[in-house]
Every structure is written in C-alpha cells, then in structure tokens.
Structure 1
Amino acid sequence: MNHQKYWNPVLETMPREKLKQLQFKKFKRILTWAYTHSKFHRALYDTAGLTPDDIRSFDDIKKIPKVEKSMMRDIQKKDPYPYGDALCVPLEEVSAFRQTSGTTGQPVYQPDTLQDWDWWAECWAFILWSQGYRAKDRVFLPFGYNIFVAFWAAHYGAEKLGCEVVPGGILDTQARILKIQELNATAMMATPTYVLNMADVAKNKMGIDSRELSISKITCAGEPGAGIPSTKKRMEDAWGAKVYDHCGATEIGAWAYECEDQPHGMHVNEAMFLVEIEDIETGHIIEEPGRRGKMIITALDRIAQPCVRFDSKDVIEWDSESCTCGRTFRLIKGGVLGRSDDITKVKGVLLSPAAIEEVVRSIDGLGDEFEVIVDKQGDVDRIKLKVELLPEVTKLNVENTLIDQLRLKTNLRYRIEYYDYGSLPRYEVKAKRFKDLRKK
C-alpha cells in the first residue's frame, strides 16, 4: 500500500498572502456553519449584532465574540444530551466522544464526526512527518486509552503515515519499558512528566539504561515541559533521543508543532487553524513579533462542535524569524509560554510555574519532581518549593545555586523543603505541581 506523503509544499510553503486568503475563506465557512447550525453560536452572535455577512475582511474577524471554556460547561448536559446547544450535527452523526482532562475545572465534552476524527488524524500526520516519522518507524504509545483525548489522534496520525503503532494500554511502566525493549520501538509519545518517569523506573527499578533502548525520537504533549530548555535536555539526556514539542487541546485540535530543524519555537498549522494573539490587558490583537499575549484560536475544519475564536488562555508570542525548514507557517517563539490563568501574583510579582520548572530542572543534583505551594499567613503571601535530592547529594551542594536562580528567574524568595529522592508524587498524564491555596 502506498501511504500519502505529508510534506505538502502546496500548503506548508504557500506564500503568506495566499495562506491568509485561504484562512479567511475557511473562517467564513466555519463561522457560517456555526451560525446556521449551533443555537449557542447563533445566540452569541445575535447578541453582538453580528452575522457572517458582516465579516468582509480579515480585520473584521476580531469583532466576533470569543468563546470561553466556562461557556461550554454551562451549555452541556442538556439536550441534545450530553452536548447541548453547540452541537451542529444530528446525534446519530457523532462517532467519537472525548472530554477534557478536567485539570482546570469541570470537563468539557467533545463530540466528533467521522470527518472530524479524520481531520484530527490529518493534523497529527502533518506534525509527525515534520518530526521525521516515517513508515519504517515502530511507534510505542505508553498511555491508557480512555475518554481523555491524550494521544488517540496521534495513534491514527501515525497509522496514516504507515507507521507500525504499538499501544501501551493497561501495561504498567515496567511492562511498557520491557515491550519497548522487546520490539525495538523507534519512537514514543508521552507527557514530559512520564517520559522522565519511565527513564527513572528503567534505571532505578529495572537496571536498564533507557539510552541503550531503540527509541530515537519522542513527541511530547499535555504539558509545557518539552518547550522548557532544561526539561527538554533532561529528557534527551535520559533517552539519548531527540525530543519534539507539540500543542493541542481536546476542544481545539493539534494546532502547533516543532519540526526537525527545532527552531526554538513551534509552527502553527495555519492551513487548519487561525491563531490570533490578544493583549491580556487591552484586548487588542498583536500582529508584531516580540509581544506576549493570550491565544484566540479557530479550528477551521471541525464541524460537530465548532471551535470559533476560542480563548485558550495559552500565552504565546510571534517569532520574528522564519524556520530553516522552508515552511511558511509562522512560528511561536519558545512554544507555549504558560497560561494566562496560571500566571498569578505572589507578593505583587507576576509568577509563571514554567519559570520555576526551568530553574529546578536546570540544576544538577535535583530530581525531576517538585511541588510549589502558595498560601497566606495573615495578609502576607508565602511560597514554598519542595524538591528532591538525588542520592548522595546534600542540600549544601545545591542550595545556594537554587536560591540564586529562583531569585534571578522569578524575583521571589522561597521556603525550600528538601526530600529524599522518590518521595514526591509521580504522574503519568498531566502533573499537578502548582497549588495555590489562597484560592480556597
């Protein structure tokens, strides 16, 4: 069987002006679809006094009201059950159910038609091809298949490329490592947390050096770790493999990826998504590179439950440079830099958990896991950092460097607690390392 080649110069090297025309055409199409078929979207746009006919230029797009996850939660568990008024197709056309992980609140349900699911796989096929996946690869997926989307679409995207896919399913971590070893798997996909956890289990519980296994490339998702230089380095050192980042979400799709050239950022798949960056304070759309804002995104081809100007809360910025790979899809510099709802003030200082991760993972002698707890004593904010010491390392070996780097990178002082290696919780999917107890 001949499998499609996913280096698509027609789309991926399309001149910017033509690409923008394609995006506008697709945006009008999905906007009209949502307005016509979704009671939720029609009410939202009618309240704003807008119809699809009012969107005559690219600049008009910003007039369309944004959708937030809380809105989706409010309309669900109603008829047509369980999706509510955003469903744009008859229930009998829904062929796949997924839901968000629930890490930021009540999960959101995501219906997909067969066409939608094929689109998901197509997005992933573009990602994996750009990262060097080919039909010769044997791809191991070490996660439990369930209602969270996780790497479901990656599985089908890899199959589209002709890769042999090995699902890790209900195997435990040690069994997964043995299966990789047995089958000489060449590639793997997992969260950064679990990539590091697997290497730790292999070394300390099984006496296996993960660098001597056959894995040559790893694609990460679910957390920002693969875009944090110190975390990426830890993963690459642990496995002796190239680590690639990717961004996606259940209600959005797989929208950005790092290519083989690894340009210190990620390509936005602009043939399938429209990404806008909004100034968090003013609400103005940021066009120029170098200014951070939150991402407003439209999935241009998804029909069962459209994603039109969705406020993702992801903080990104445009890169001023183009990629050496030849793709004309724009880059977001450094990938996703955090979430606007994760960035919080502590003692009057804006703090992103990713900045703490960069510090901890950059210091030799500290383990991969850590935990941050913010609370109050009276009216005063306090911040505590729990870290693990590697065997035969004492806090005297690392304390001064850790304190100095935290002060330099976050402008805050911490109460630091040191734990024996292996004491802090381990995670397989999304880690929960940042706890703000002031919100309780």
Structure 2
Amino acid sequence: MADGVYWDREKETRSREAREAEVLANLQSQLRFVYDALPFYRSHYDAHGFHPDQVKSLDDFSKRVPIVTKPMLRDDQAAAPPFGRYLGCEAADIIRVHGSSGTSGKPTLYAFSRGDWDYIADVMAQGLYTCGVRPGDIVQLATVFSLFMGGWGSLLGVERLGATAFPLGAGETERQLDLMYRIGATVLITTPTYALHMLETARALGYDAAKSPLRLGIFIGEPGSSIPGTRQALEQGWGIKVRDMATTSEMTPWSTNAECEAAAGPHVMQDEVWTEIVAKDDSSRLLPDGESGAIVYTHLKRRSQPMIRFYAGDESHMVYEPCSCGRTYPRLPAGVYGRLDDMLLIRGANVYPSQVQRSLLEVPGTGVEFKIVLEKKGALDHATVLVERDPAATPADIDHFAADLRERVRHKLKNDTAVNFEVDILPPNTLERALSKAKRVDDRRPKYRPGGH
C-alpha cells in the first residue's frame, strides 16, 4: 500500500467532497450503532432529545449531537464498572486494557477489541508514515509503557509499518543515550519535555548531540513541538527534523493528527477520526476555518468504546488550505495550543503555559526548563516565572548576566502576555526534570469553594 510518499495515496489525496461523503455515511452508521447497542449513548441522547435519524448532513451532526466529556466517562464507569455502559463488544473479545493517567483520581479504563486493535495498528502506521518513518528505521521509544496509550500505540504503529522498534521506555537517561548511539537509532518518539532533558544530559556527558544517529523526532503527549522555540531547540540540538503528532488517549488511534515533511502543522485524518473546531462556550457552533476553538473528536470506525463528539478540552484552529505534500487533509497549523483547563487567569488576563514557554525560548540566554508560580498577595494575584539560564552560557560576571536576562525576560513576557511577571533566573539543573509530561504550573492561590469562607 505504501509507495514511499503516502501510506495510502488514493485515500490521502482524494477530494474533500469524496472524503466527506464517506465521513457522513460512517457517522450515521456509528450513531445508529451506539444508540441501538450502548445504553450510555441511548440515555444521553434521549435526555437531550436527539435521535440518530436527525443527522442528514455534517452540519446536522455538529448542531444536533450532544458532546461527551471525560467526567461523564468516569461517572459512567463508576456506576457500571469496570468499563461503563459504552463497551461496544463482548468481554471475551477484549484484547487489551489501558487507561488514563488517573492524576485526578481513579483512571478511566480503555478496553480494545481484537478487531479494533488490528485497526488501530493500521492507523498508527499511517500517522507515523506521514511523519516520515520508513521501513529500515530504528525507532527508539522513550515513552512510558504503563496504562498510558502513548507508548503502546507508537509500538503498534512502528511494527505495522515495518520499521524496527526499540521500546526502551522512559527514564534512565544515560542508558537511553548510550543505547541510542550503540544501536544507531534513527527516529526518537517521546515527549518534547523528555527530549529536551535527554539533550541537556547528552551535552553534560560530552556527546555531540547534533551529530547523533537520529534523523527524525516525533513528539507526542503534550504541546511543545509546534512552538517555534522548542522546535528550534530540538532540531538544532539533535540535528533532526521535528514532527508533531497526537490527539488524546480516548481517541486511540491517537495518531490522526500527524505532521508531514512540509512541517506546516499536523494533518487531520478526517476519514478515521472526524475532528471539529467549535466555540468554547457552545459546542454546537462549528467555527470557520482559521478560528481558534475547542477540539471535538469522533471515532468513525472503532466499535469498542467509541467516542462520539468527545470534547477533548484542547484548543486549536484548523485550515483547509493546500499543503505542498499533496495530502488533502486539513491541518492544525499551530498544533494543539494546550488544554483549555490549563489556561490561567492572572489579574484578568488569560495565559497558557505554552505561551509563556514560547516567549522564554525566544529570549537568548534562557534554558529550556521553567515553572510558573502563582500566589495570592492581599487581594491580588502574584505571578513568578522561575527559569534556568542556558547551561551553554558561561559569562565572567554571572550576577550581571542574570540581572540583564531577568529584565529581558520580564519585558518579553509583559509584551506577549500583558502580565507583569516577577522573574527568577536559576542556575542550570535547578528545577526537577520530568520523564514524560512536564508540570509547568504551581498554583498556590486559595481555591474558591461555593458557600465556603
């Protein structure tokens, strides 16, 4: 099927009209299936006065079908353990069980049928092929292998594509580097945060990272690789091409947002997972091309735990303008900005941690590690950015260098975010390093409790 450029040329280059005709038919089929077979969806739709017969067009789908959220899935699994009332297959047909990280309580469990597991491998392979992985590559998987689907989905796709998988897992960074060079890994799959940590460690150990055997990095699990400063640090530091990929674990196969060689933002594989950008305050209002909003995803073909209009809580914008690679999928030109619930409200201004990261990386002299600390002083919010200086910077007068850097960072952040941040410049290797997703915010402000004091 793959021809050196496309995983499936006909599918990836067909007209929007042909693709969307197929999408509508698949959406109608999925709606009938979940309404007839899955009590979770039937009760949800009945409560909203919706019936699958009401969907005659893609516009109907956006306007009429109610969304599903993560709390709804957690509540349904608590009421009907272990998999909720939306399993979609016989228990005996489940081949794998995974789950969310469970950082806010019990993990939400993901069950995959045998047929879906095979289907997921195909779509994961298409995503990786879009990013540039080819048979003959040695793919180092520096990802967590646990409940989290990131590593497992990557492994499935690499194997289906025909490349060599090297599933090391996350952590043991010195060993990661030793083995990378020893076996000649050509592709790295991990989070942007861990790739930057690996780079920092490589330099400290005396490696010439820009001459590593790697040629390509595919970054998953968190925003970052679409941020220009982060991309530049990774590309120049490792001497690689950077590709952004991923949706969210609930939407496995999560590779349906995958960036091509044009490096113009991830293509959205609309014929596998239908993706909408909707108003943040009205999930039934589809936004025009190029306008930022909330992302809503729908499985078109998966039958075990299918997600229909899943409100992921992420923000982006989508465009249909042509891509030089020839694929006719729409794109997310800036990737996923971040989670809507990660947005910080500081003295009336809305700020994303990824926005702060973007600004910091544009100031010469800063390192890649930072943290935002929020406190309440009197009646006002007080915001501080802790940022390490670049370990490559070795000025004769450290104090003068830090003072100058502090002012340049403050000015940049004020200009970009409209927030007056205090800035502390820290020595390299001061902040804790993450093996997967970074925790960039320490919000110490008192939490408001209705009826409390």
Q: Quick one: distance in 1 between partners of 2:309 and 2:152?
A: 24
Q: Tell me what 1:137 maps to.
A: 137
Q: Tell me what 1:256 maps to.
A: 257
CA-CA distance at 1:333 after TM superposition? 2.2
Q: Tell me what 2:219 maps to.
A: 220
Q: Quick one: distance in 2 between partners of 1:375 and 1:69?
A: 29
Change (3 A) 1:18 1:128: same
Change (3 A) 1:165 1:320: closer
Q: Quick one: distance in 2 between partners of 1:367 and 1:211?
A: 17
Task: Give matches, 1:330-341, under 5 Å.
Answer: 330-341=330-341
Q: Does 1:96 align with 2:100?
A: no
For the residue of structure 2 that corresponds to 1:238, the secondary structure is helix
Counterpart contact for 1:276–1:285, Cα < 8 Å:
no
Q: Tell me what 1:39 maps to.
A: 39
Q: Does 1:411 align with 2:418?
A: yes
Counterpart contact for 1:98–1:250, Cα < 8 Å:
no
Q: Tell me what 2:430 maps to.
A: 423
For the residue of structure 2 that corresponds to 1:84, the secondary structure is coil
Q: Quick one: distance in 1 between partners of 2:236 and 2:389?
A: 18
Identity of aligned residues (%): 30
Counterpart contact for 1:7–1:130, Cα < 8 Å:
yes
For the residue of structure 1 that corresponds to 2:314, the secondary structure is strand
Q: Tell me what 1:436 maps to.
A: 443
Q: Quick one: distance in 2 between partners of 1:252 and 1:104?
A: 19
Counterpart contact for 1:210–1:238, Cα < 8 Å:
yes
Task: Give matches, 1:308-323, under 5 Å.
Answer: 308-319=308-319, 321-323=321-323
Q: Quick one: distance in 2 between partners of 1:220 and 1:318?
A: 20
What does the per-residue CA deviation read over 1:173-220, in whole Å, with 9 as the maximum and x for residues that have no partner?
Answer: 11111111111111110000000111111111x211222220000100
What does the per-residue CA deviation read over 1:353-387, in whole Å, with 9 as the maximum and x for residues that have no partner?
Answer: 11101011222222211000222123211111111
User: Cα RMSD between the aligned structures?
Assistant: 1.8
Q: In structure 1, what residue type is equivalent to 2:246?
A: C
Q: Does 1:209 align with 2:202?
A: no
For the residue of structure 1 that corresponds to 2:188, the secondary structure is strand
Q: Tell me what 2:366 maps to.
A: 366
Q: Quick one: distance in 1 between partners of 2:224 and 2:103?
A: 16
Task: Give matches, 1:100-139, under 5 Å.
Answer: 100-103=100-103, 106-139=106-139
Q: Tell me what 1:57 maps to.
A: 57
CA-CA distance at 1:106 after TM superposition? 4.3
What TM-score does the superposition give when structure 2 sets the normalisation length?
0.92
Q: Tell me what 2:241 maps to.
A: 242
Q: Quick one: distance in 2 between partners of 1:411 and 1:106?
A: 38
Task: Give matches, 1:256-405, under 5 Å.
Answer: 256-263=257-264, 265-319=265-319, 321-391=321-391, 392=394, 394-405=401-412
What TM-score does the superposition give when structure 1 sets the normalisation length?
0.95
CA-CA distance at 1:314 after TM superposition? 1.0
Q: Quick one: distance in 1 between partners of 2:89 and 2:53?
A: 22
Q: Quick one: distance in 1 between partners of 2:358 and 2:387?
A: 13
Q: In structure 2, what residue type is equivalent to 1:190?
A: T
CA-CA distance at 1:139 after TM superposition? 0.8
Q: In structure 1, what residue type is equivalent to 2:72?
A: M
Change (3 A) 1:428 1:170: closer
Q: Tell me what 2:451 maps to.
A: none
Q: Quick one: distance in 1 between partners of 2:390 and 2:164?
A: 37
For the residue of structure 2 that corresponds to 1:237, the secondary structure is helix
For the residue of structure 1 that corresponds to 2:21, the secondary structure is helix
Q: In structure 2, what residue type is equivalent to 1:167?
A: P
Q: In structure 2, what residue type is equivalent to 1:88?
A: G
CA-CA distance at 1:56 after TM superposition? 1.8
Q: In structure 1, what residue type is equivalent to 2:435?
A: E
Q: Quick one: distance in 1 between partners of 2:27 and 2:163?
A: 32
CA-CA distance at 1:169 after TM superposition? 3.4
Q: Quick one: distance in 2 between partners of 1:291 and 1:113?
A: 37
CA-CA distance at 1:158 after TM superposition? 1.1
Q: In structure 2, what residue type is equivalent to 1:401?
A: R
Q: Quick one: distance in 1 between partners of 2:183 and 2:228?
A: 30
For the residue of structure 2 that corresponds to 1:146, the secondary structure is coil
Counterpart contact for 2:287–2:293, Cα < 8 Å:
no
Q: Quick one: distance in 1 between partners of 2:127 and 2:355?
A: 27
Q: Quick one: distance in 2 between partners of 1:439 and 1:315?
A: 26
Q: Quick one: distance in 1 between partners of 2:181 and 2:142?
A: 13
Counterpart contact for 2:226–2:334, Cα < 8 Å:
yes
Larger deviation, residues 18-27 vs 107-116: 107-116
Q: In structure 1, what residue type is equivalent to 2:444?
A: L
Counterpart contact for 2:410–2:422, Cα < 8 Å:
no
TM superposition outliers: structure 1 runs of 4+ over 6 Å: 2-5
Q: In structure 2, what residue type is equivalent to 1:259?
A: C
For the residue of structure 1 that corresponds to 2:367, the secondary structure is strand
Counterpart contact for 2:144–2:436, Cα < 8 Å:
no
Q: Tell me what 1:229 maps to.
A: 228
